[in-house]
Structures are given as C-alpha cells and as structure tokens.
Chain A
C-alpha cells in the first residue's frame, strides 16, 4: 500500500528566507505531484514530476524528485507573503493519487 509522509506539517517562515518541504513515499510511484490550496479553495496544480532527477521551477518554488530515495522536495526561495497556503504532495499509482498530510505554510514579515 502506497503511503505518503510530508514534513513539516507546519512551517512558519520569515520573508526573504529559504525553506524546504519534504515528501517521502513508501513504494514505487508513477508520478509525484505538488498542489497548493488556499483557505476555502480547491487545489491548484504546481508541479508534476515524472522521472528520477526531475527538477521543475516556477517563480520562487522549485520541486525535485529522487525516485531511488522515494523523496521529493519543494524548495522555497526568498519567501514572500503570497506563498502562504497549504501545500500537498501526492504520489500516483495507477492513476490514483495518495496525498500527504499537507504543510501549512505561513510567511511572516
């Protein structure tokens, strides 16, 4: 059974600093997804990582995938207030997504 562990569950960040969210999954996965959820909103797709060594970047966010370690990271560079949200990773197996618990991210000025 595929299980996904995400940490930290809560991240209080200072503006301008760098942080990383970690996502471990227990068995082979087809793809790794990162989503953002704002309060009261649905999920916004950030990244889909398909293969070992994949790295994708969008603005201040960069996601990477190490399939051998079964680890994905979401790196935040120079945090800004607009990044405050809940971030989920999800591992896919057979088109089904198994989600991590989510990381609540708060950026303080």
Chain B
C-alpha cells in the first residue's frame, strides 16, 4: 500500500495569484499523477509526473497554467498559476502501485477556492 499526504489540505486564494500543492508518498514510486475534481464532478487527469523527465499533460491542460515538479521518487508539486474562479476544484495526486499487484492510490486532496 501507499500513504500519500498533500499540503495544503485547503486554501482560499485571490484571482490572479498562484498556489503550489505538495504531494508526498511514503515509498518510492515511478509514476505520480495529478487529477482535478471540479465541484460535483468526476475526476480528470491533468498530467503524469515521472522523476527525471518533463511532465506529460493531457488535452486541455498546459504547462504554463499547471507547472509540475518531480524532484525525486517520493515527492511532486503542482502549481495552479494565474488563478481564476474556474480553477476552484479539488486537486488530487495519485500513485501507481499496480506493478506491485496493488492499485492506484489517491491522496486526500487539496480543496481550492478562488475568489
């Protein structure tokens, strides 16, 4: 299994500012993912973050808006840049433990409100 923590757990931000969300895992993992869950909606993959390489973004998400860092095998950050109210969502990181016969685990999420 994997234990994932995220910081902050929630934040209220002003339009035009940026917020960096941290994701820490208790074991080394190759693949980490960032998802967005808009209010009352399902989850959408933003990007895949592999250590030592550039993040891979899904259609509709760009690096300038959602820069990602992956400095080592247990840590990643997602920045939400130049925020607008439409960015109000829950942002979740996840890790893939399937290669170990396990599942994909999700962090507790960061609830972001943009005013």
Which residues in A have some Cβ–Cβ distance to B below 8 Å? 31, 33, 35, 41-43, 45, 48, 88, 90, 92, 95-102
Chain B positions within 8 Å of A, measured between CB atoms, are 31, 33, 41-45, 48, 58, 92, 94, 96, 98, 102-109
The residue on A at minimum CB distance from B56 is A96
**Cross-chain pair count, CB within 8 angstroms:** 47
Contacts of A102 in B (CB 8 A): 42
- Tell me the bound Cα distance from A96 to B102 in angstroms: 15
Q: Are B109 and A97 in contact (CB under 8 A)?
A: no
Minimum CB–CB distance from A7 to chain B (whole Å) comes to 13
B45 touches which one: A31, A45, A96 (CB < 8 A)? A96
Please give the distance in Å from B114's CB to the nearest CB on chain A.
Answer: 19
Residue in contact with B42 in the complex, picked from A41, A92, A96, A101, CB distance below 8 Å: A101
- Whether B108 and A42, one on each chain, are in contact in the complex, defined by CB atoms closer than 8 angstroms, is yes
